[in-house]
């Protein structure tokens, strides 16, 4: 495991350069703008627990849903060479199912929460298999295939709870969405850590990583090596389905309410961008989950920074778009090649200078 982590950084820093630089620049920018931006303090929340607070906490907490979705999206992107644009709508369905089950019992106990979580997972995975079947079996472009659920997903979510926006008032749900009593770290952050570990374990105990990359890079060769590419693609969607359920449940628990129209609205764009910023090829193939997670945090720091600067939230999207265009362009092969050329030129110049110096 240790070896694996080391190799992740050894082999992967190239891919992670852009997102890491982006994070560094955003940090620096904020430090200059407001040195207090990164102060973290301990406050007591309204339940009387000591909890951490500050912009940094808001960033890692707020990016939780996005980070979880970006992990799943990375797999789908790698295997299918396309993206699932229905994750927001599917999360609304999963969240609605979660609340539906919670509300079906008389009281919300730990048992009902687990049951509701399982139901939400199953529902999300079923819808994901629908997407996956269209992509893997019927060979429909992922974006086109998932456009169907993107369009009708929130209507389906509407039917589940009969159009209402029911609330769930329960200490357990509050613990999931904000803080577990006695733990100063926001629970969604812990969930992201747990999901990340889960992914690591899956990669460690199965051949998912190798097979997914093979299918994504060269489907024909993968098939001739006995890999069932249909199954791998379907599996990537089902895993994304799990991520969708988790993200949906975090979203619901944060507010203790399901609003099928606004839950994780437009999150699919951010999730795809997180994958792209993480240096993963949107055309499929080699991938790094870590990159996508960092990408999610880059997007969130950006959002929080803009809010802290009191940029009107209608303008936030425009600013975000500018920064993201910059990041994606800088990461593009054309610029990379140009940059490499420049560097080698500089190097040879330097050598010439030092040679002159030697003379």
Partner 1 sequence: MQDKVILQMRDIEKRFPGVLALSGVDFTLRKGEIHALMGENGAGKSTLIKVLTGVYQMDDGEITVDGEKVAIRSPQDAQNKGISTVYQEITLCPNLTVAENMFIGRGNGVLVKQKDYEKKADEILGRLGIPARSRQQLGSCSLAVQQMVAIARAVDMNCKVLILDEPTSSLDDKEVNLLFELMRNLKSRGVGIIFVTHFLEQVYEVSDRITVLRNGELVGEYLTEELPQVELVAKMMGKELDELNSLGESEEKKMENGEVFYEAESLSSSDALPFSFNIHKGEVNGFTGLLGSGRSESVRAIFGADKIGGGNVKIKGRPVKITRPIEAMKHGIGYLAEDRKRDGIIAELSVRENIILALQVMNGFFKPISRGESEAFADEYIKALNIKTASRETPIGSLSGGNQQKVILARWLLTHPDYLILDEPTRGIDVGTKLEIQKLVLKLAEEGVSVTFISSEVEEMLRTCSRLIVMRDRHIVGELKGKDLNQKKVMETIAGGEAGNE
Partner 2 sequence: MKRLKALLLTGVLAMSFAFGGCGGDTGAAGTTGSGDSGTTTTTTTTDTGSAGGTIKVGVVNNPPSESGYREANVKDMESVFSKENGYDLKTAYSLKNDEQLQAAQGFITEGVDYLLISAAETTGWDEVLKSAKEAGIKVYLFDRMIDVDESLYEAAVVSDMSAEGKTAVDWLLAQNLPEYKVIHIQGAMGSDAQIGRTGALDEQFASGKMTKVVQQTATWDEAEAKKIVESVINSGEDFNVIYAENDGMAKGAVAALDEHGITHGVDGKVIVMGFDCNKWALRELLAGKWNYDGQCSPFQAQIISDLIQGKTTASSKKIINEEKGFDAKELTQADIDTYGLGE
Which residues of the chain form contacts with partner 1 (CB under 8 A)? Answer: 3-4, 7, 11, 204-208, 210-211, 213-214, 217-218, 220-228, 285-286
Q: Which two tokens stand for residue 8?
A: 């992740």
CA angle 195, 199, 202 (to 5 degrees): 135
**Which DSSP letter does residue 141 get?**
-
Q: In whole angstroms, what is the distance from residue 242 CA to residue 121 CA?
A: 6
Tell me: does residue 155 bind partner 2 (CB under 8 A): yes
Q: In whole angstroms, what is the distance from residue 316 CA to residue 299 CA?
A: 11
Contact indicator for 26, 306 with CB cutoff of 8 Å: no
Where do we find the tokens 């040195």? 35
Region from 4-12, 119-127, 173-181, 220-228 binding partner 2, contact rule CB under 8 A: 173-181
Contact indicator for 92, 149 with CB cutoff of 8 Å: no
Q: Which does 27 bind (CB under 5 to 8 A by kind): partner 1, partner 2, none?
A: none
Q: Which does 198 bind (CB under 5 to 8 A by kind): partner 2, partner 1, none?
A: none
| Residues in binding contact with partner 2, number by CB under 8 A | 58
Region from 105-113, 163-171, 217-225, 237-245 binding partner 2, contact rule CB under 8 A: 163-171
**Which DSSP letter does residue 264 get?**
T
Other residues' Cβ atoms within 10 Å of the Cβ of residue 262: 15
Contact indicator for 265, 255 with CB cutoff of 8 Å: no
Contact indicator for 59, 304 with CB cutoff of 8 Å: yes
Question: x/- site string to partner 2, residues 229 to 268, per CB under 8 A?
Answer: ----------------------x--xxxx-xxxxxxxx-x
CA angle 194, 317, 292 (to 5 degrees): 30
Region from 153-161, 196-204, 208-216, 340-348 binding partner 2, contact rule CB under 8 A: 153-161
Closest distance between partner 2 and the C-beta of residue 183, in Å? 13
Tell me: does residue 203 bind partner 2 (CB under 8 A): no
Query: Based on CB atoms, which residue is closest to partner 2, 47 or 326?
Result: 47
Query: Based on CB atoms, which residue is closest to partner 2, 11 or 163?
Result: 163
Tell me: does residue 100 bind partner 2 (CB under 8 A): no
CA distances (Å), origin 103, targets 96, 97, 106, 168:
10, 10, 7, 7
Where do we find the tokens 């995975």? 125
Q: Which of 20, 172, 223, 307 binds partner 2 (CB under 8 A)?
A: 307
Q: Which of 4, 31, 43, 318 binds partner 2 (CB under 8 A)?
A: 43
List interacting residues with partner 2 (CB under 8 A): 36, 43-47, 51, 53-55, 58, 62, 82-83, 85, 143, 147, 150-152, 154-155, 158-159, 163-167, 177-179, 186, 251, 254-257, 259-266, 268-269, 272, 282, 303-304, 307-308, 310, 312-314
């Amino acid at each position: 495991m240790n070896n694996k982590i080391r190799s992740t950084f050894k082999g992967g820093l190239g891919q992670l350069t852009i997102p890491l630089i982006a994070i560094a620049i955003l940090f620096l920018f904020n430090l200059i703008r407001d040195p207090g931006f990164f102060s973290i303090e301990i406050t007591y929340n309204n339940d009387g627990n000591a909890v951490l607070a500050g912009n940094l906490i808001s960033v890692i907490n707020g990016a939780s849903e996005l980070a979880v979705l970006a992990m799943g999206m990375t797999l789908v992107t790698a295997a299918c060479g396309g993206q699932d644009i229905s994750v927001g709508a599917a999360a609304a369905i999963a969240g609605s199912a979660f609340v539906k089950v919670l509300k079906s019992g008389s009281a919300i106990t730990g048992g009902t929460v687990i049951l509701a979580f399982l139901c939400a997972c199953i529902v999300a995975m079923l819808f994901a298999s629908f997407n996956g079947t269209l992509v893997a079996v019927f060979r429909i472009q992922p974006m086109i295939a998932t456009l169907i659920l993107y369009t009708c997903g929130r209507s389906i979510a509407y039917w589940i709870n009969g159009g209402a926006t029911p609330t769930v008032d329960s200490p357990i749900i509050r613990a999931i969405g904000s803080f577990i009593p006695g733990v100063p770290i926001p629970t969604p952050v812990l969930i992201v850590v747990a999901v990340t570990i889960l992914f690591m374990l899956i990669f460690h105990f199965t051949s998912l990583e190798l097979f997914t990359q093979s299918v994504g890079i060269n489907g024909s060769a993968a098939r001739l090596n006995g890999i069932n590419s249909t199954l791998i693609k379907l599996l990537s969607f089902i895993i994304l389905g799990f991520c969708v359920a988790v993200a949906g449940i975090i979203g619901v628990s944060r507010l203790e309410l399901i609003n099928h129209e606004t839950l994780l609205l437009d999150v699919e764009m951010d999730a795809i961008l997180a994958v792209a910023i993480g240096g993963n090829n949107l055309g499929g193939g080699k991938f790094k989950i870590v990159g996508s997670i960092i990408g999610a945090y880059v997007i969130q720091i950006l959002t929080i920074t803009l809010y802290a600067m009191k940029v009107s939230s209608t303008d936030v999207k425009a600013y975000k778009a500018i920064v993201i265009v910059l990041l994606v362009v800088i990461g593009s092969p054309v610029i990379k090649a140009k940059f490499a050329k420049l560097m080698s030129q500089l190097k040879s110049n330097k050598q010439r200078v030092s040679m002159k110096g030697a003379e």
